[in-house]
Amino acid sequence: MSQPSQQPTGWSRHDMARLAARDIHDGAYVNLGIGIPELVTQHVPPDHEVIFHTENGLLGVGPSPAAGSEDPELINAGKKPVTAIAGAAYFHHADSFAMIRGGHLDVSVLGAMQVSSRGDLANWSTGEADAIPAVGGAMDLVAGVKRVVILTEHTTKTGEPKLVAECTYPLTGCGVVDRVYTNLAIIDVTPEGFVAQEIAPGITFRELQEKTGAPIIDGRPRSESQ
């Protein structure tokens, strides 16, 4: 009996978050964007201590509060209730963005609408005439944080590639992305363009290239390449 052919989907969102968390060094200061990046908190390796920053004025974001003990004055940048760890600190917005702009944060984990092979990021506006433009802190994060990594599905809901040769949406920043974690692969942005460092189980390099809007170099160790 032959199984019905299924489109392989690669990693789950939690897999992606786990892979991103694995690459964050012990002791790092990290800002997480809204969406898939929020899952990273759940996957920090047990022997690592990572300090989470939220740009609305807290260093040392803790886990979500138990139901019923939410404090409307203790929220993250996505305006969701959070807690604070022992050793946390509160500060005002100018000090918070001094941390970001001044290069004090180690990693910014963001979602994306498009990433170009030069590392341009578009994640704030569709550019449609009717859209209400809203940027928040994304442009500050990509301009200031030492390392910018993206967690995103590899393609849009309609199957369009999000990794592209040129972004068609308005940019958040130019040449700012270091690495992209998608459901299909971990891809570095290098001077030579996209380089796949790891590919999800069940996905071939060819499939990866087909779903990507720009050439990808296979950068995996020879033993892992298919």
**Near another protein by CB under 8 A, which window of 13-21, 37-45, 51-59, 195-203?**
51-59
Query: Which of these is catalytic: 49, 55, 70, 207?
Result: 55
55 a catalytic residue: yes
User: CA-CA distance, 98 to 185, in Å (whole number)?
Assistant: 33
> What amino acid is encoded at 145 in this protein?
V
Q: Which helix (H) or strand (E) holds 180?
A: strand 179-181
Q: Does 58 bind another protein (CB under 8 A)?
A: yes
For another protein, which is the closer residue by CB, 140 or 207?
Answer: 140
User: CA-CA distance, 80 to 164, in Å (whole number)?
Assistant: 32
For another protein, which is the closer residue by CB, 139 or 214?
Answer: 139
Strand order in the sheet with 121-122: 121-122, 114-116, 163-164
H helix intervals, the chain: 13-22, 93-101, 138-144, 205-210
SS3 state of residue 68: coil
User: Of 7-26, which residues contact another protein (CB under 8 A)?
Assistant: 26
Q: Which of 9, 25, 63, 91 binds another protein (CB under 8 A)?
A: 91
Q: Does 32 bind another protein (CB under 8 A)?
A: no
Q: Does 97 bind another protein (CB under 8 A)?
A: yes
SS3 state of residue 164: strand
Q: Does 192 bind another protein (CB under 8 A)?
A: no
Q: Does 67 bind another protein (CB under 8 A)?
A: no
For another protein, which is the closer residue by CB, 61 or 195?
Answer: 61
Q: Point out the residues that are catalytic.
A: 55
